[in-house]
A and B are shown apart, each in its own frame.
Chain A
Amino acid sequence: MGSYIGKSVKRREDARFLKGEGKYTDDIKLPNMTHMAFVRSPYASANVLSVDTSEAEKAEGVVAVFTAEDGCGQYGVPCGWQVNFKNGETMREPQHPLLAKDKIRHVGEPVAIVIAETQALARDAAELVAVEYEELPAVTNPKEAMKDGAPKVHDQFPDNMAFDWCIGNDRAEVEAALEKAHHVTELEFINQRLAPNAIEPRSYIADYDVNGDKWTLYTSTQNPHLIRLLMCAFVLGIPEHKVRVVSYDVGGGFGSKIYHYTEEALVTWVSREIARPVKWTADRSEAFLMDAHGRDHVVKSKMGFDKEGHIVAHLTDEYCSMGAYLSTFAPAIPTYLHGTLFQGLYKTPLIHLNVVAPFTHTVPVDAYRGAGRPEATYLIERLVSKGAKEMGMDPAEIRFKNFIEPFDGVNQPGYQTQVALQYDSGNYAPALEKALDAIGYKDFRKEQAEARKNGKLLGLGISTWIEGCGIAPSAVVGALGARAGLYEVGHVRVQPTGKVSVYTGTHSHGQGHETAFAQFVADRLGIPMDDVEIIHGDTEQVAFGMGTYGSRSLSVGGSAIVKSIEKVLEKGAKIAAHKLEASVEDLEYAGGKWTVKGTDKSISFGDVSLTAYVPHDYPQGLEPGLDFSSFYDPANFTFPFGAHLAIVEVDQDTGKVDLKRFVTCDDVGNIINPMIVDGQIHGGVVQGIGQALLEEVVFDESGQMITGSYMDYAMPRADDLPMIETHNTVTPCPHNPLGVKGAGEAGAIGSTPAVVNAVVDALWHLGVRDIQMPLTPQRVWKAMQQ
């Protein structure tokens, strides 16, 4: 191991953020820049009868007003994943217009845009646009949407269904096993809709250059190349090479900034129309209304056990909302990113998941931190804990009993699940053991009993999780319906002086790539970290890339860089051999230099670099330069896993849940920077706790979002939380060169069921078996009274 990998190197990106010198999109001000404001529907479902823009056009500072009649982006924004019906029929794909023409399908859907000299004037004028609506009935719950006579979201799809889908073993076989099971535990609940809420609202600036017929789009996105491709090829029909997409600093994403949004295409279109730069930055209300949401599954599950507590079968039926339109990756979330994790960490022999995905009169649902995997983990881990307690078994013991045996993916093959995927490597028991030791599991039951005598309701919840990260390879995801490849690009440019510029197609919006990537690059090349810079977020600098989501950056993006480093070293060796008058086979590379084995004859990386660019004394026939780009298409997903434990105390009188301790033991494969990995776990855990205890997007009967601000949507604050106690085990990924698995989503996947299991544990003796999330004091109190 080199000198940087495995060390908590402090982040190089921090100085600019700490001094207030980060460059987020809204911080950019261009000469002659105009501002865009939206006229948005106050109704969830309505006919648009008329739009009158005449007053707005006359208002102070207004440059232009546009409606759907003006013909922007006539094809609408596309969906990037196709999931077909069970019977093979093609998924239903309604057009997702940039501006609504005659029909409104969710609150906030835009009807017109106003461009003015300042943001305030644009908003003033937007108020003057008169829109006549005819309000129609709306449906927001995915199960309700499937009922006969439910309000229709798209007239051409009268049953509201986008697709249905299933995975796993034959349903009849699973049902038969459940019939015969010694014990069957059941759960019916809603995995509630969440708003991702990155603290930086989305922001876009398009700058059209009339003379060059070119655009620059500054955007707060997680994947600039993907946005460029989707927008140019599918929405606006403009040549891709004429658009540069830049996303410098981005203030958090959590999935919500993956998708190509209508506003991005609109600023780009408008900028050419008016030949001036156009900026739009969402306010928080717009973020609630327009950013794709997460979760929103209506779930019915059954898990069967034999006498000893072995799981014999698992059957789940779900209604998973798509919202009003299909967002970029929406169809993949409740299907291939969800059903494929139904094996969990267990040897469950029979599994069946059936999904019905309807349209509803709501903002689209797509990936939110974990994307389908938290929903899978939640229901599996609730079922296992509930089943154990019903059978009078210890919830830790039942897990150990059902865990898949250890396999490293090298000496033992990967584990073939019942739900399509093959796990890469895993060793599950040690992670749970370590977490149980850390929390003092053995003594806890005594403490709990003591506390109960003193009128205190203590509970401990366990969850063990697995996820599939870095989804791949492209041919496989293509067969599953992805309309893009899921490889990554890594470009290593060695400068003549031996300094190294690395261009990655992944994107950092908090993950610290500038630091962690430089650590392994410096180690692989045996040079100081200061000699390595990491560049991302600009399509003009980085050749191509798929961006950052699904915990893929290091496992896929890092591997692409490693491939290029290998090419650099291979060519460097030829130059070194020439200079040292030795053969390549006689050289070894270490500590930043090539040495002739068994001698002290050596040449440094810097000298070889210079020679590559000043090729006077140079191997014959070898091209000058030391500059390589690689595409890396992974052999498989990676499968990190872990155990999360929570201890809670429930207030007898108010039902308020006090989270006392939270302990994790996660296995994310090899770790480059432990400080950054811990930080990812902390943040993910707290988002998961948010779902368990606080967060929920609520709609009223008419489809109005009644949690559309921070006054109504509760997110975790510092005083809601304890310190997060993190531990880890290391089971390397066998199929990528760094042995890494991914840590970005882990926290959010494991933590939610741990908290809910803890609360149910605290109240079990009162007859409480389940409580609907979020576990607000009111809900907990009500459950205690029943």
Chain B
Amino acid sequence: MRISLTVNGKQYSHDVEPRLSLAHYLREVLNLTGTHIGCDTSSCGACTITLNGDAVKSCTLLAVQADGCEIVTIEGMANGAELHPIQESFKENHGLQCGFCTPGMVMTASDILKNNPNPTEEEIRHGLEGNFCRCTGYHNIVKSIQQAAEKINQ
């Protein structure tokens, strides 16, 4: 099937198998390997991207379902060498260790802050519910998002 979509501001058009997941499309076809795959039950959130502005788990969608959509992946967050304030806050607060969950965390954080620019700690934790991190214990991820909120609101 032919699909056309925008990813990180660029137009793409490809023939894809109907069973190809969006996560695999991003990784294998577009070589955007920042979107990670950590599970097969839609539980870990490593594959989180935004689709038409909302955070979604790209492993749960088929590429064909994204036809005509606007997608942002982790590769679309920084502005050249300049990190997005969320990325910057993750760095400043040691919000990542092995980095594998990180793209999903950053994309989820962008969704949390879009819907709620001043989240409480509890709201942040609730918003991160769909994302596993096995390294950080979430402590510094929560702090990173708190600081990102401040930066963005300035």
Hey, which bits of chain A sit against chain B, CB under 8 A? 8, 10-11, 13-22, 24, 26-27, 29, 120, 197-201, 249-252, 254, 283-285, 509-512, 675-676, 678-679, 682-687, 709-711, 715-719, 721, 723-724, 747
Contact = CB atoms under 8 A, between A and B. Distances in A.
Given A20-B32, A20-B74, A199-B44, A721 B98 contact: no
Contact of B138 (A24, A709, A718): A718
Contact of B100 (A8, A252, A284): A252
A20 B103 contact: yes
A199 B38 contact: yes
B92 A10 contact: yes
Given A199-B46, A721-B125, A679 B94 contact: yes
B113 interface: no
Contacts of A10: 91-92, 94
Interface string B15-29: 001011000000110
Nearest to A286: B40
A251 B98 contact: yes
Interface stretch (B50-58, B62-70, B128-136): B128-136
B152 interface: no
A709 to B, nearest CB: 5
Contacts of B133: 199, 718
B77 interface: yes
A509 B140 CA distance: 18
Nearest first, the 6 closest Cβ-Cβ pairs linking A and B are A20-B34, A17-B99, A251-B100, A686-B137, A510-B98, A710-B43
B139 A719 contact: no
Contact of A199 (B33, B100, B121): B100
Given A19-B75, A29-B31, A710-B43, A14 B90 contact: yes
A120 B20 CA distance: 9
Nearest to A281: B37
9 contacts: A16-B99, A24-B36, A120-B17, A120-B20, A683-B137, A686-B137, A717-B129, A721-B125, A723-B142
Nearest to B34: A20
B110 interface: no
B2 to A, nearest CB: 19
Nearest to B136: A683
B39 A718 contact: no
B119 to A, nearest CB: 12
B96 interface: yes
Given A27-B33, A252-B100, A683-B137, A199 B94 contact: no
B91 A719 contact: no
Interface core residue of A19, A24, A676 (most chain B CB under 10 Å): A19
A184 to B, nearest CB: 37
Nearest to A23: B33
B97 A22 contact: no
Contacts of B46: 199
B148 to A, nearest CB: 12
B116 to A, nearest CB: 15
A33 to B, nearest CB: 11
A198 B133 CA distance: 9
A253 to B, nearest CB: 8
B122 to A, nearest CB: 8
A710 B41 CA distance: 7
Contacts of A11: 91, 94
B76 to A, nearest CB: 9
Contacts of A8: 94
B98 A682 contact: no
Contacts of A198: 98, 100, 134
Nearest to B81: A15
A509 B96 contact: no
B126 A719 contact: yes
B138 A721 contact: yes
A724 B132 contact: no
Contacts of A510: 97-99, 135
Interface core residue of B31, B87, B129, B138 (most chain A CB under 10 Å): B138
B98 A711 contact: no
Nearest to A751: B137
A719 B99 contact: no
Contacts of B94: 8, 10-11, 675-676, 678-679
Nearest to B89: A18
Interface in B89-127: 90-92, 94, 96-103, 106, 121-122, 124-126
Contact of A20 (B41, B73, B135, B137): B73
Contacts of B128: 717-719
Given A18-B90, A682-B137, A201 B98 contact: no
Nearest to A710: B43
A284 B131 contact: no
Given A18-B83, A718-B125, A200 B98 contact: yes
Contacts of B97: 252, 510-512, 679, 683
B43 A711 contact: yes
A284 B132 CA distance: 13
